């Protein structure tokens, strides 16, 4: 690679958030409900988050001031349709103001229609294993598009529908329906909702063939609803694709998991306009499961190996299997040491440049995440943000990593590492 690599003029440089992780007080969602149940697996409740719901104008202005050209954020279905069939014009207007603010500051809005959280009523009705869910999701996409579609730059239907299959391999959920009654959280959820534990099927934690079929149908019906309003709008979904590797004796296991977690979802993406790739590192499998990080390897705040080279591998895998344009919709590092994040980002971006140099159609690089925020079951501990947040005062402070990526966005050039 030469001293610098020029990115395409229309290449998107951005940061990402998810509504539940930043907005705060998302009281009608299934995640808000699950955070507070006996036996919860969440380290703490989301609460006010970083109050992005009220602070979005200044937040979006800050993102733009750093040099970024896009902002990926999600609509909160639980706000827009808090009761089945009842849509809130006030909440749709809120998201329209967010989109308008992006345009005022020259940011292309990359909008995710479902980022893990669903309305609580959907969970009570069978969630992501219920055959009615795809039509319900498509109805919501249609209503949102008719109110917001003219301002959306790129549309993502579902965020990381494949993640539960990876979490299962890591020992984080994925119980079969008949075993859910033995899990305290799902038993408590069923009791509160007045349903059978076998029917508790939240998006993030459900691993079943029915769940795969329902998510794929929801993606396709949602895509059709979006395209019916704006046929030219680029639509895809985003996948949690770790770089799956094998240790000695682990090749068969790694191959099986790669097929289940990465390859079948990429194959299902072939009719889309692009596929979003979300990679944080590699997962190495031995014959008995996940292999530990190599001795002496640096690790992130969750104890995982820091391995930025993974992104180049998953982009190449996506291009090979899906055969459509790729957009990096998440990539980042959980660390309190921003110098480690800077080093990680330099290597990751160099990998993107290498893919582009080889003729792979990569449309953008969107970092996770804009702000230190609520990281699902891990609570507020992991710090992925390019912008620090003092949650006592909600003061925002850009880190050097934010300035570095913003400078690349301004120059549209990646320096060699």
> pLDDT (tens digit, 9 = 90+) per residue, 283-305?
999 999 999 999 999 999 999 99
pLDDT, greater one: 143 or 173:
143
Cα–Cα distance list, 349 to 114, 208, 266, 346, 352 (Å): 27, 35, 22, 5, 5
> pLDDT (tens digit, 9 = 90+) per residue, 318-330?
999 999 999 999 9
Q: Distance between alpha carbon 34 and the CA centroid of its chain, in Å?
A: 19
Read off the tokens for 17: 């958030």
Secondary structure letter of residue 246 according to DSSP: E
For β-strands 289-290 and 282-286, DSSP reports them as antiparallel
* Packed helices 133-148 and 209-229: angle between N→C axes, nearest 10 degrees: 30
Q: What is the mean pLDDT of the chain?
A: 96
pLDDT band at 416 (very low <50, low <70, confident <90, very high): very low
pLDDT, greater one: 69 or 414:
69
> pLDDT (tens digit, 9 = 90+) per residue, 202-246?
999 999 999 999 999 999 999 999 999 999 999 999 999 999 999
Overall pTM > 0.85: yes
Poorest-pLDDT segment among 75-84, 281-290, 293-302, 404-413: 404-413
Residue 3 pLDDT: 52
Polymer length in residues for the chain: 417
For β-strands 413-415 and 4-6, DSSP reports them as antiparallel
Could you tell me which of 9, 15, 69, 4 has the C-alpha nearest to residue 414?
A: 4
Read off the tokens for 182: 């033995």
pLDDT band at 270 (very low <50, low <70, confident <90, very high): very high
Superfamily of domain 4-410: Glycosidases (3.20.20.80)
Burial environment of residue 122 by CB neighbours within 10 A (0 to 12, 13 to 18, 19 or more): buried
* Residues labelled catalytic: 160
Number of Cβ within a 10 Å radius of residue 411: 13
Residue 417 pLDDT: 39
């Amino acid at each position: 690679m030469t001293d610098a690599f020029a990115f395409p003029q229309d290449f998107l440089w951005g940061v990402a958030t998810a509504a539940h992780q930043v907005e705060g007080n998302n009281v009608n969602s299934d995640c808000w409900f699950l955070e507070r149940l006996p036996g919860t697996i969440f380290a703490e409740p989301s609460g006010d988050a970083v109050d992005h719901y009220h602070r979005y104008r200044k937040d979006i202005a800050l993102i733009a001031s750093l040099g970024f050209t896009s902002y990926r954020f999600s609509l909160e279905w639980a706000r827009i349709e808090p009761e089945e069939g009842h849509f809130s014009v006030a909440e749709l207007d809120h998201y329209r103001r967010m989109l308008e603010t992006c345009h005022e500051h020259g940011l292309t809005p990359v909008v995710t229609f479902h980022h893990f959280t669903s309305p609580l009523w959907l969970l009570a009705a069978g969630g992501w294993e219920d055959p009615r869910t795809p039509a319900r999701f498509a109805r919501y996409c249609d209503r949102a598009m008719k109110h917001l579609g003219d301002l959306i730059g790129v549309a993502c239907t579902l965020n990381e529908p494949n993640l539960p299959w990876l979490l299962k391999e890591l020992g984080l959920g994925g119980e079969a329906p008949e075993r859910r009654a033995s899990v305290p959280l799902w038993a408590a959820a069923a009791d509160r909702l007045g349903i059978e534990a076998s029917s508790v099927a939240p998006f993030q934690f459900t691993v079943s063939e029915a769940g795969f079929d329902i998510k794929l149908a929801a993606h396709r019906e949602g895509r059709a609803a979006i395209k019916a309003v704006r046929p030219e709008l680029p639509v895809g979904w985003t996948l949690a694709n770790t770089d799956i590797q094998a240790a000695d004796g682990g090749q068969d296991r790694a191959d099986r998991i790669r097929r289940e977690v990465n390859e079948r979802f990429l194959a299902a993406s072939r009719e889309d306009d692009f596929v979003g790739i979300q990679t944080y590192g590699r997962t190495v499998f031995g014959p008995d499961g996940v292999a530990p990080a190599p001795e002496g390897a640096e690790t992130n705040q969750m104890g995982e190996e820091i391995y930025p080279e993974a992104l180049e591998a998953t982009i190449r895998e996506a291009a090979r299997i899906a055969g459509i344009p790729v957009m990096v919709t998440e990539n980042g590092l959980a660390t309190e040491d921003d110098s480690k994040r800077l080093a990680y980002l330099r290597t990751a971006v160099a990998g993107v440049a290498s893919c582009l140099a080889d003729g792979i159609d990569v449309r953008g690089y969107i970092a996770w995440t804009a702000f230190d925020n609520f990281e699902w079951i891990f609570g507020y501990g992991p710090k992925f943000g390019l912008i620090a947040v003092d949650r006592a005062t909600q003061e925002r402070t850009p880190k050097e990593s934010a300035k570095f990526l913003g400078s690349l966005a301004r120059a549209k050039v990646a320096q060699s590492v």
